Amino acid sequence: MNRSDFLTLATSVSGNSSAANVYFANDGLNIYFFTFNPTRKATQIAFNPHVQCVIRPENEEGIKELQIDGFAEKITDNHKKEKAKQLILNVTKAFESYMNDEFLIENDVVGYYKIKPTVIKYVDFYAEKQFEWMEVPDNKPSLLSQIIGSLTRKIKYFITVVRAPFLTATIAPILLGSSIAYWQFKEFDWSIFWLTFFGAIFAHCGTNVMNDYFDHTSRNDETNKLFSPFNGGSRVIQSGLMTPANVLLLSIGFFVATIIIGLKLNYDLHGAYFALSPLMYLGLIGVFLGVMYTGFLRLSYNGLGDIAVFLGFGPVMVYGAAYMQNQSVDLFTTLLFSIPVGIFIALVLFINCFQDYNADKATNKNSWVVRLAGPGEKANYRIPFKVWEYSMIIAFAIIAFGSIKINPVASIALLPIFLFYFASKKGRSWLNEWEKEDANIEQLPYELLIVNVSTIGIHFLTGILLTIGFLISVWI
């Protein structure tokens, strides 16, 4: 190892292989290298730490190399990070400015990794003994740790692929619609609820995964350099976690599961799988919006994505969940309280488009943020942010109106106004920084993430508090 400072690293997840050349340093048999955590190789290591690498000595003739099999891990201990940093800097200064960049460090972009070899094979066709092996059994994880690690990574993999944290967008309206039906009729069918719940969850997963596929084919996600946990898709294709074909197949599978559940509910409620019923129409609208969001009609590319999200995760889901429990549920009450929930989730999409502005503009994805922020090289976010604020105010006003006219206890859902005030204040401060002539337009979009998080929190908290409000009003 001491005769080279460069290696070829191979990683793989679900049959998607990746190779990269990296500078390395070694401390005995352990190998250290630096990379950015969002890179393909770093992401793949997070889901499959088993790696292979090849080291060839420099300036020597013939076929001579070390072929190493081992396990890589991201270094998280600060003391060990500093040790790895110094070892790598002794080899190359190429990444020193990035290693010391406070913004990159704070946002966990810079990463140090350690490879623990389990098998080292030395190949030299000029030597009498052309192949020599060395095993390091102490570096091989125990069977139990491999099993636990594999299960943990599979769960993490599924959460990443379907973007599970965003499933709150489905959980809130389903709970709200179900609680409104219970509030009105004092009856509840748990079997119907769970079928409705998982049918909606599968539809949401199908929409998320299909969105990743079509944003890949349009090159939108590839173009997006300002992606985060809240925007830019799941990155499963870009990170080599799934092939585009498998992503498409998975999304189709989720929609098929939704359709099967919908037909079962239609049979249970209306006596026939294909009975022409409000449930059938609601299901068709939901699947249509999910598929067409980025596919075929490309609603999100034509400024209709926000409307599709508002309808699908607002009135369609809230009324659909209530209808499943009792087919004569009060239409006015259900739709009235579904509107703020729909507005809030549409605003989650809307505020996420701030960071997506450059990628959306480059790939002709004409979101409302792109339309309102102007065609200039530097986006004018003042108008879109006002739209976000005014829409929030309208949504809370509707909740207040519904509380006065229908259910006073539902007024507890006004509590997230304090979170809105906090997010609005943060957003305005961010705008002031953005509009400065010397603004760092590469880093500032990340500073808006607190507003992204707050918008998600407002949506979910409001949905849950409305649900609690209707349940409490039954019991008092």
Q: Does the residue 363 lie in any domain?
A: yes
Residues 134 and 166 in one domain: no
Residues 357 and 257 in one domain: yes
Residues 176 and 120 in one domain: no
pLDDT band at 437 (very low <50, low <70, confident <90, very high): confident
Residues 80 and 209 in one domain: no
User: What is the C-alpha to C-alpha distance for residues 398 and 462, in angstroms, rounded to an integer?
Assistant: 12
Q: Shortest CA distance to 211 belongs to which of 254, 183, 248, 182?
A: 248
Mean pLDDT of the chain: 91
What does the DSSP 8-state code read for residue 233? -
pLDDT, residue 277, reads 87
Among candidate residues 111, 140, 169, the one where a domain is terminated: 140
Residues 245 and 340 in one domain: yes
Q: Does the residue 116 lie in any domain?
A: yes
Residues 212 and 123 in one domain: no
Q: Positive or negative, the Cα torsion across 204, 258, 297, 250?
A: positive
pLDDT, residue 463, reads 96
Among candidate residues 86, 112, 140, the one where a domain is terminated: 140
pLDDT of 275 over the 80 cut: yes
Q: Shortest CA distance to 450 belongs to which of 306, 354, 364?
A: 354
User: What is the C-alpha to C-alpha distance for residues 468 and 472, in angstroms, rounded to an integer?
Assistant: 6
pLDDT, residue 372, reads 92
pLDDT band at 2 (very low <50, low <70, confident <90, very high): low
User: What is the C-alpha to C-alpha distance for residues 166 and 205, in angstroms, rounded to an integer?
Assistant: 9
Most confident residue range from 96-100, 224-228, 353-357? 96-100
Encode pLDDT of 322-381 as tens digits.
999 988 899 999 999 999 999 999 999 999 999 888 888 889 888 899 999 988 778 899
pLDDT band at 133 (very low <50, low <70, confident <90, very high): confident
Residues 282 and 324 in one domain: yes
Q: Does the residue 431 lie in any domain?
A: yes
210-219, 223-232, 318-327, 387-396, range with the lowest pLDDT: 223-232
Residues 175 and 131 in one domain: no
pLDDT band at 62 (very low <50, low <70, confident <90, very high): low
Q: Does the residue 279 lie in any domain?
A: yes
Residues 64 and 198 in one domain: no
Go through 454-465 and write b for each residue having 16 or more CB atoms within 10 A of its CB, e for each that does not: bbbbbbbbbbbb
Encode pLDDT of 460-471 as tens digits.
999 999 999 999
Angle between helices 382-405 and 331-355 in degrees, nearest 10: 160
Residues 384 and 428 in one domain: yes
| Cβ proximity of 7 and 31 under 8 Å | yes
Q: Positive or negative, the Cα torsion across 434, 353, 396, 183?
A: negative
pLDDT, residue 261, reads 95
387-409: average pLDDT: 96
Q: Does the residue 317 lie in any domain?
A: yes
252-256, 299-303, 398-402, range with the lowest pLDDT: 299-303
Range of the domain at 81: 6-140
Q: Does the residue 435 lie in any domain?
A: yes
Go through 359-386 and write b for each residue having 16 or more CB atoms within 10 A of its CB, e for each that does not: bbbebebbbbbbebbeeeeebebeebbe
Q: Shortest CA distance to 367 belongs to which of 376, 356, 379?
A: 356
SS3 70: strand
| Cβ proximity of 1 and 49 under 8 Å | no
Q: Say which CATH number the domain at 72 has.
A: 2.30.110.10
pLDDT of 220 over the 90 cut: no
Residues 262 and 393 in one domain: yes
pLDDT, residue 441, reads 79
Encode pLDDT of 281-339 as tens digits.
888 998 888 888 887 788 888 888 899 999 999 999 999 999 999 888 999 999 999 99
Q: Does the residue 417 lie in any domain?
A: yes
Among candidate residues 110, 140, 170, the one where a domain is terminated: 140
Domain count, the chain: 2
Residues 193 and 47 in one domain: no
266-290: average pLDDT: 89
User: What is the C-alpha to C-alpha distance for residues 119 and 136, in angstroms, rounded to an integer?
Assistant: 6
The structure's pTM equals 0.90
pLDDT of 1 over the 70 cut: no
Q: Does the residue 147 lie in any domain?
A: no
- What residue type is assigned to position 91 of the chain? V
Q: Which two tokens stand for residue 242?
A: 């799934």
pLDDT of 102 over the 70 cut: yes
